C-alpha cells in the first residue's frame, strides 16, 4: 500500500508517463515471452513494479550515463542491459517479493546463464540492447505526448 501511495505522490506528468510506459512494456513482455518461452504472459506484479521504477529506468539512468560516460545513444544503449538488470534486482527484492511473496513476474532459474537465483539472465543482453535502442528513440516522443496532453 505504501508503494501505491508513492506512485500517487508522483506529479501528474510522471503518473501518465509511467502508466503509458508500463502498459507498453506489458505488450512487449507478452510478445517477448511468446517468442522466448512459447507461452505469452505478463503479470500485474511487473506492471505495478514498473509503475514505480520507470522514473529511475528512463529519467535517472540517462543522467547517470551522461555523467559517468557521455551523452548520446552509444553509451546509453551499451549500458542499458545493466540498467535493466538493476531494475530486475530492485523490482524483485523491494517490490514484487514483499508484495506477492515470490517473484511471480519472471524467473530465469532454468537458464544456465541466470544469476542471483533466477533474478537476472545474462543471455538477455541483446534484448536489453534492443530495448535500450527503442527507449532512446521513442521516450522523448512519449514525454512530448504527455506534456501536450497535460497542457491541453
Three-state DSSP class for residue 121: strand
Q: Which of 47, 45, 43, 131 is nearest to 85 (CA)?
A: 131
DSSP letter at 122 equals G
Percentage with pLDDT > 70 across the chain: 99
| Other CB atoms within 10 Å distance of the CB of residue 125 | 15
| % of the chain with per-residue pLDDT over 90 | 88
Other Cβ atoms within 10 Å of 35 Cβ, number? 9
Buried b (16+ CB within 10 A) or exposed e, 11-20: eeebebbbbb
Contacts of 2 (CB under 8 A, 6+ apart): none
Write out pLDDT tens, residues 59-105. 999 999 999 998 899 999 999 999 999 999 999 999 999 989 999 99
Could you give the CA distance from residue 140 to residue 29 in angstroms, rounded to a whole number? Answer: 21
Residues 122, 112: contact at Cβ < 8 Å?
A: no
- The mean of the pLDDT values for the chain is 94
Q: Is the pLDDT of residue 152 over 80?
A: no
The per-residue pLDDT for range 23-44, each reduced to its tens digit, is 999 999 999 999 999 999 999 9
Please say if the pLDDT value at position 1 is more than 70. Answer: no
Q: pTM for the whole thing?
A: 0.92
Supply the pLDDT for residue 5.
Answer: 87
Amino acid at each position: 500500500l505504501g508503494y501505491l501511495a508513492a506512485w500517487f505522490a508522483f506529479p501528474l506528468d510522471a503518473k501518465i508517463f509511467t502508466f503509458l510506459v508500463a502498459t507498453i512494456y506489458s505488450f512487449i513482455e507478452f510478445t517477448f515471452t511468446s517468442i522466448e518461452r512459447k507461452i505469452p504472459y505478463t503479470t500485474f506484479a511487473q506492471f505495478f513494479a514498473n509503475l514505480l521504477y520507470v522514473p529511475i529506468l528512463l529519467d535517472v539512468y540517462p543522467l547517470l550515463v551522461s555523467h559517468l560516460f557521455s551523452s548520446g545513444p552509444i553509451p546509453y544503449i551499451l549500458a542499458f542491459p545493466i540498467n535493466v538488470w538493476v531494475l530486475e534486482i530492485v523490482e524483485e527484492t523491494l517490490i514484487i517479493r514483499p508484495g506477492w511473496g515470490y517473484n511471480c513476474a519472471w524467473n530465469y532459474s532454468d537458464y544456465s546463464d541466470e544469476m542471483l537465483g533466477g533474478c537476472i539472465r545474462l543471455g538477455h543482453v541483446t534484448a536489453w540492447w534492443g530495448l535500450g535502442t527503442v527507449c532512446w528513440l521513442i521516450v522523448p516522443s512519449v514525454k512530448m505526448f504527455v506534456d501536450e496532453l497535460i497542457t491541453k
